[in-house]
Amino acid sequence: MDFGHQLAKFFLILGLLFLFLALLFFLIGKVPGLGRLPGDIFYHKGNFSFYFPLATCILLSLLLTLLLNLFFFFRR
């Protein structure tokens, strides 16, 4: 394969990955309660507001870890 073909393949895969991530973020916004869990940090004072979804990040990390481990376990 020449370099141009490999580069085109790389950009196609990268584009599909970005499309998947965009759809994932769009759908995550539709899940009720996600992003407002106990443990998420929200600070508001005057014109300033700070939001850090700590509990949501931990929950999503655990779920993705479980799903990926199951996927790779059954793939063997």
Q: Would the pTM of this model clear 0.75, i.e. be above it?
A: no
Tokens of 42: 């929200």
The contacts of residue 53 (CB under 8 Å, 6+ apart) are: 35, 37, 40, 41
The predicted-structure confidence for 1-50, as pLDDT tens digits, reads as follows 688 899 999 999 999 999 998 888 788 778 787 778 899 999 999 999 99
The angle at the Cα of 40, spanning 36 to 44, to the nearest 5 degrees, equals 90
